[in-house]
Amino acid sequence: MTWNGSGIAGDVQVHYAIFCSDVYQRLEMQKCVTIQQVMPILGIPDALVSIASFNSKVVSLWVSVYPHPSQPPRIYTGKRH
């Protein structure tokens, strides 16, 4: 997965590894992962804001992993980079 946003800060890329279960079933990442920008709304973090240009600022991103209903229930592991 790669997200590119051109702005003053340049490009942002988010990479992930393959998530596999103990019986080598792969999680379908294109269907299962969403990335959202976290913005404080009335002092409370809100992860429902669209990702916009970062303007050279450090921002928080909310990464959600929701397995597709067709995926069997297992523990899927991977590495973050």
Looking at residue 3, its pLDDT comes to 46
Q: What is the mean pLDDT of the chain?
A: 63
What would the pLDDT profile of 22-34 be if each residue is shown by its tens digit?
666 776 666 666 7
Kindly tell me if the per-residue pLDDT of 46 is higher than 50: yes
What's the length of the chain?
Answer: 81
The DSSP code sequence of 3-65 is ----STT-------PPPB-TT-PBP-HHHHEEEEEEEEETTEEEEEEPP---TT---EEEEEE
Amino acid in the structure at residue 13: Q
Q: Is-above-0.75 flag for pTM? A: no
What would the pLDDT profile of 50-59 be if each residue is shown by its tens digit?
565 556 666 6
Domain boundaries of the chain, sorted by first residue: 29-65
Looking at residue 42, its pLDDT comes to 80
Cβ contact 57:72 at 8 Å: no
Cβ contact 54:12 at 8 Å: yes
